[in-house]
Chains A and B, each alone.
Chain A
Amino acid sequence: MSSPDKVARRKEKLDRVAKVFGPSKVIPAERTVEFLELILSPGDRVVHEGDNQKQGDFLAEKLAQVDPKKVNGLKLAVSCIGLPEHLDLFENGIAEVVDFAYAGPQGGRLAELVGNGTVKIGAVHTYVELYARYFAELRPDVACLVAIDADAEGNLYTGSNTEETPALVEATAFGGGIVVVQANKLTDNLRRVDIPGEWVDFVIESPKPFHLEALFTKDPALLDETRILMAMMAMKAIYQKYLPKVLNHGVGFNTAAIELLLPTYGEELGLKGKACTHWALNPHPTMIPAIESGFVEAIACIGGEVGMEDYVASKPDIFPLGRDGSLRSNRFYGQMAGHFADMFVGATLQIDPFGNSSTVTADRLAGFGGAPNFGAENRARRHLSEAFLRAGAEAHAGEYMPQGRKLVVQMVETFQGANNPTFVERLEAWDAMKTAGFAVPPVMIYGDDVSHIVTEEGVANLLLCRTMEEREQAVRGVAGFTPVGLKRDHAMVANLRDRGIIQRAEDLGIRKSDVSRDRLAARNIHDLVRWSGGLYNPPSRFRNW
């Protein structure tokens, strides 16, 4: 339900546009700035569509060009602050406050602009949290969205990279807001309708296709033996022990190594059919060998991936395809699928001695993205599975009320680079808290939620730790030669190892000489193309043959 004011404001704006542009929903691209000035009032909340993959770059560019005397004080809401224009809005005096989930590429500049007072942060969110708030207290006045194709009635084809469009359009169209869409192409022949035209107020054909990042493409050639060692330890200590059927992998190289070891080492460990059958995941190219080897039954896609379109279309049983044969991803639903999964395996930039982790550093406000929903103990889960019960039996042993437990695995190398340890005594999130004026540090995954930490030194099972002191020593005990690792209590770490809370490669029966790139099912991008039967079409920057 919208307030009467909002309904009146919407009608007034639409009348203004009709007076200048006529009754059509189609706005000429060259008049976009003039059009935006008609539908934007000072103080409006504007949702801009852009996540870590697709970005509505044309509308962002035009939005940053509106006259700040006419349009100012905007409240920007965007999943990923991925474009320079998002921050230009603040430097140009058009916007005041930003609510977001992730700021990867612009994280450094964002920290600077927050530090000097140019940008005010409403809050840093998870994706799902931000979408949910669009339906409650952050209702959009205007949404600037992205489509592949649109017709004159406003029907949209959003295809493989549908991602967050359904959430944003629904919150806006049914919340009294105005929906504007940049489409790569205006056409009368949509291959399917992902968003009905009735929910869309205006469409603009952009001069060039929207930006799409190949974020989930990891080149197997870059996987070194330390990552393979970590992957083998994780697979033996966690995958084989708990047999998680439904899982999510993060975007990093560590989990890419596991994906490429499933057909080889995973087969040896007997995982096929018993674990890793259902995934909440983008179409990772590094999943192709596991799919071709029969490990995977279904994948819920949060987004698409550049170059995977034809391969995905050839697997209708595994990927969510429309009647037209192309992928339909959905970020909100995909995130929820991961939220209710058996296991999350991800990475981070910093971990403290209690297992708290953050990707925010003193000079980069990176945000959280989806990690906190994927990587949090889910207190709302009620359905049971073998992995959920096994983890719960460890976490809640001896308690009155038996419960399950989600597996939340942080897989990190002890160093991010020479002299840049992952394990730190105090997260830089504490400094970011001061700079940005937050009441609490921006922690990505709380130590309480983490079940296992995997490093080159071994696997720490935090579910079995009974005190904070034990948890601290379990973390220090796998923190290697970082200052945090060197400060371990050797007697306590030895005790934790005797109890199986810390496991080294030798405790798991893994010989270092067995750790080899020869185990990878694919050793480079070209191998992935071969596994796909030529259907995977990698972006040119990944081609070196």
Chain B
Amino acid sequence: MEHLSFEFDGGPNAPKSGKPYSVAGVVSSSNLEVLAQPKDLGGKVRFEVNTTVAHFEDAWRAVFADFVERSQPRDVLFSINDFAAIPPVVSLRLDQAWEALA
């Protein structure tokens, strides 16, 4: 199990739904679960990843950077348990978790 942590400058969109958290996906073969929580990060966005597959730090960074640019969130912590999901599945789950919280 590899643990990775990433932080990005956020955009203008703070979570507005009032929900304490949202979850998307399930950890099973070739999938992952994303837990999104509002958290005061001084305008930043943080991603904490537990993954079964090592050596993909650049790919994670690219997927998160794309997500942050697309959705412009701020003050959110995304905790991710990954079971070898491919990048498009990661993108889809991040979008789903964020849509439920935003």
Give A residues with C-beta under 8 Å from B.
224-226, 229, 413-415, 417-418, 455-457, 480-481, 486, 505-506, 511-513, 515
Contact = CB atoms under 8 A, between A and B. Distances in A.
Interface stretch (B4-12, B36-44, B91-99): B91-99
A486 B65 CA distance: 12
A486 to B, nearest CB: 7
B91 A456 contact: yes
Contact of A512 (B31, B59, B87, B92): B92
B84 A418 contact: yes
A18 to B, nearest CB: 62
A422 to B, nearest CB: 11
A455 B70 CA distance: 17
Contacts of B63: 481
Given A414-B86, A481-B88, 6 more contacts: A224-B31, A225-B89, A414-B87, A417-B86, A480-B88, A481-B62
Given A486-B62, A512-B99, A418 B53 contact: yes
Given A226-B89, A481-B59, A481-B63, A512 B96 contact: yes
A230 to B, nearest CB: 9
Contact of B92 (A229, A481, A506): A229
A158 B56 CA distance: 53
Interface residues of B, number: 18
Interface string B31-63: 100000000000000000000010000010011
B100 interface: yes
Given A511-B99, A512-B99, A513-B100, A457 B86 contact: no
A226 B92 contact: yes
Nearest 4 A/B pairs, CB to CB: A456-B88, A512-B95, A481-B87, A415-B86
Interface of B: 31, 53, 59, 62-63, 66, 70, 84, 86-89, 91-92, 95-96, 99-100
16 contacts: A224-B31, A413-B86, A418-B84, A455-B88, A456-B92, A457-B91, A480-B91, A481-B59, A481-B62, A481-B63, A481-B66, A481-B88, A511-B99, A512-B95, A512-B96, A513-B96
B contacts with A: majority SS: helix
Nearest to A420: B86
> Chain B CB within 10 Å — which of A455, A456, A515 has the most?
A456
Given A481-B59, A481-B62, A414 B92 contact: no
Nearest to B95: A512
B68 to A, nearest CB: 14
A515 B92 CA distance: 9
A225 B59 CA distance: 21
Contacts of B53: 418
A511 B84 CA distance: 24
A285 B89 CA distance: 27
> Chain B CB within 10 Å — which of A413, A417, A506, A513 has the most?
A513
Contacts of B70: 506
A225 B62 contact: no
Nearest to A516: B96
A65 to B, nearest CB: 44
Contacts of A415: 86-88
A515 B95 CA distance: 11
A226 B99 contact: no
B88 A414 contact: yes
Contacts of B66: 481
A371 B96 CA distance: 35
